[in-house]
Amino acid sequence: MESSEKLIAILAGILVLGVGTQWLAWRIRIPAILLLLAVGCTAGSLTGFLQPDVIFGDLLTPMVSLSVGLILFEGGLNLKFSELRDCWRSLLGLLTIGVVITWFAAASFGYLLLGLSPGVALVLGAVLTVTGPTVIGPLLRDIRPTGRVGVIAKWEGIVIDPIGATLTLLVFEAVQLQHQAELGSATITILIGLTKVSVIGVVVGGIAAALLVLMIKLFWIPDYLQNAMTLMFVVGAFACADAWHSEAGLLAVTVMGVILANQSFIDIHRMLEFKESLTVLLISVLFIVLSARVPLSSLASLTWRGPAFAMVMITVVRPISVWFATLGSKLKTAERLFLAWLAPRGIVAAAVSSVFAWRMGEEGAAIAPATFLVIFMTVTIYGLTASWVARRLGLSNPNAQGLLIAGATRLTRGIAAELKKAGFTVVLVDTQYHHIRKSRDLGLPAHFANILSELVTTEIDFGGLGRFLAATSNDEINTLAVARFREVFGRDKVYQLPKDHEVSDRFAATWEHRLIGRTLFDKRLTYDVIRLAFDRGAMIKVTPLSDTFDYAAYQAHYSGRAFPLIILDGKKLSIVTTDNAPTPKSGQQVLSLLLPEEMVQELHPVESDE
């Protein structure tokens, strides 16, 4: 029995190693799973510091299952049915035909390459039908693919996990029954099991979601208890469904998340932010614990066959399954090729393989190491090549011209409307719903969210977006937002409105200069000045320049009233900043803010920086 002091040190070590590894992976910009696997193996089989089976005992398996359930619930909260309007057939094919092909193909190569028995090979094949939403999400944010492939990949990565986990359980049960000669047909067992799990998962998840929505809508739950009560409902739904049929809990919580994401009775943004933080913590801990259980000797025992099996999964199994699953769909060849090159495995594969390897004992000893090797190689290969593949296929533009704008004000709505007419992608984000409503009335894509929330990176399609403008009324929010999105778009492509002179001293003492984005437009055009200008009749105007009406004539015509904001040059745009004085030429268009004449006289000249 471990001493209490040693147990505290081990538990603290798991948390510190997990979260610390996530931070380090973010700093050096590599997939966190790779570092988590390395750290877990080091803490486990290499040093012996962490022995999960000894520490947690019989609690390990239910802890892992419940944690995976919480992760899938958070994933379900990010799935909107409206995204599937043009691609639901392709997704359905991947979740049915694609799963079956992946299962049998992976099982076949497991039998041929790894020398597994038919039963163990079938279980391993079922485990590997899942992908990795916790890996796919960051990859998609980095790639920012255009079209439908991003939506399909996100949905597949989340919905396929409970399907794969349930399939693994049913295959395992069918294999055990066949061994006992109690049932002649494993296929019948699997079909009956899938039907039971589907019904239980949908019913339990639907009831739990409906009760939670009703209680929040009727104000039976105070604001400070909403997240705790949501967690209670998720855990309760998981336990209830799982008690009814093993693994039905995963489907129940996924269904619950999807229902909450698509209802319009309550706001789930606070719920999302809480679950995002919880998910990061759970993933960090789970990967450390699960990889610590895999002896390095078991990985070495696979010899060359292990890497060969993983490469076959990447280069043969995934392309074949995607190709047949999307036959007859509206997807273009480039989109099908990209999906064929994006199937990293993640935490669900690791968890499910660990659980069923333990259940099968010595017979299933190769399941966990084979799965972890597939996880490592798929994350590495897809992580290093998916962005290049997307660019080669024309699905990702390294020089995207679209704008993500924080703040759906009169200024940004006017800018967005003109840019949309010119064929550019613009997405607005705001926390004031009347701003969102006015934006949508103009036909502009607008999201009701906090720009600092992780919801922005999961809900918004970043395809075609290449720059970020922070134009809210809060200078602190603007600064924090550009600090965050410089990691997405690059330091030279994040911008913010000039800071109010009244708070500049406070900013200088609070924020380092490196966190501030490039200053937009003109130092005099602060948020308050722009708001006052619109109150007095300011307007957004696009003016084409020509040989007979050049930039000098443009300035003279408007007598100092026109402040250039963006220069449009065909399919390219240049944002005016205080460090990039506008020099528009003939053939270009100037998108400008026209101030009332009386305001021009009130504005003080820009002071020299010298």
Confidence of residue 349 (pLDDT cuts 50, 70, 90): confident
- Written as six digits, the tokens of 597 are 């004449």
Asked whether the predicted pLDDT for residue 111 surpasses 80, the reply is: yes
Q: Catalogue the long-range contacts made by 415-420 (C-beta closer than 8 Å, 24 or more residues apart).
A: 415/540, 415/565, 415/566, 415/591, 416/442, 416/444, 417/442, 417/444, 417/540, 418/540, 418/542, 418/591, 419/566, 419/568, 419/573, 419/591, 420/444
Tokens of 598: 């009386």
Burial per residue of 571-608, b for 16 or more beta-carbon CB atoms within 10 angstroms, e otherwise: eebbbbbbeeebebeeebbbbbbbbbeeeeeeeeeeee
Query: For residue range 497-514, what is the model confidence (pLDDT) as tens digits?
Result: 887 654 444 544 444 444
| pTM as predicted | 0.72
* Rounded Cα distance, 182 and 198, in Å: 24
**pLDDT per residue as tens digits for the range 326-339:** 988 888 888 899 99
> Using one digit for the tens of pLDDT, what is the confidence trace for 418-433?
888 888 888 888 888 8
User: What does pLDDT average to over the chain?
Assistant: 82
Q: Is residue 352's pLDDT more than 80?
A: yes
Query: Which tens digit of pLDDT belongs to each residue from 377-409?
Result: 998 898 888 888 888 888 876 667 788 888 888
Q: Is 27 exposed, middle or buried (0-12, 13-18, 19+ CB in 10 A)?
A: exposed
C-alpha to C-alpha distances, 534 to 145, 412, 499, nearest whole angstrom: 36, 12, 19
pLDDT of residue 398: 63
The residue among 352 and 191 whose pLDDT is bigger is 352
Average pLDDT value for residue range 225-231: 89
Give the pLDDT confidence of 537-546 residue by residue, as tens digits. Answer: 888 888 888 8
Mean pLDDT of 231-243: 92
Lowest-pLDDT choice from 15-29, 239-253, 285-299, 590-604 = 590-604
The CATH number of the domain covering residues in 4-264+285-392: 1.20.1530.20
What is the pLDDT, as a whole number, of residue 605? 56
Q: What three-state secondary structure class fits 428?
A: strand
Rounded to whole angstroms, the Cα distance separating 171 from 173 reads 5
Q: Among candidates 274, 277, 273, 280, which has minimal Cα distance to 18?
A: 280
Burial class (CB in 10 A: 0-12, 13-18, 19+), 478: buried
Q: Which of 4-8, 204-208, 351-355 has the highest mean pLDDT?
A: 204-208
CB atoms within 10 A of CB 193: 21
pLDDT tens per residue across span 28-63: 777 788 888 888 888 887 888 888 888 888 788 888
Q: What is the mean pLDDT of residues 59-74?
A: 85
Mean pLDDT (whole number) for 435-443: 88
Q: Which pLDDT band, with edges at 50, 70 and 90, does 183 fall under?
A: very low
Start-end of CATH 3.40.50.720 domains in the chain: 402-602
pLDDT of 516 higher than 80: no
Which residues of the chain does CATH 1.20.1530.20 include?
A: 4-264+285-392
Output 175 or 310, whichever has higher pLDDT: 310
Mean pLDDT of 441-459: 79
Q: What is the mean pLDDT of residues 77-102?
A: 84
Residue 603's pLDDT is what?
67
Helix (H, G, I), strand (E, B) or coil at 575: strand
Mean pLDDT of the region 345-363: 80
In the predicted model, what is the mean pLDDT of residues 82-105?
A: 87
Q: Which whole number is the average pLDDT over 438-467?
A: 79
Neighbouring C-beta atoms of residue 237, cutoff 10 Å:
27
CATH superfamily, domain at 402-602? NAD(P)-binding Rossmann-like Domain (3.40.50.720)
- Which tens digit of pLDDT belongs to each residue from 252-280? 998 998 899 888 888 777 777 677 778 88
pLDDT band at 187 (very low <50, low <70, confident <90, very high): low
* Banded pLDDT at 594 (limits 50, 70, 90): confident
- Quote the distance between the C-alpha of residue 310 and its chain's center: 25
**Residue 167: exposure state from Cβ atoms within 10 A (0-12, 13-18, ≥19):** buried
Q: What is the pLDDT of residue 483?
A: 82
Please answer whether residues 469 and 403 qualify as being in contact, where contact means their C-beta atoms are separated by less than 8 angstroms.
yes
With a cut of 90, say whether residue 211 has pLDDT above it. Answer: yes
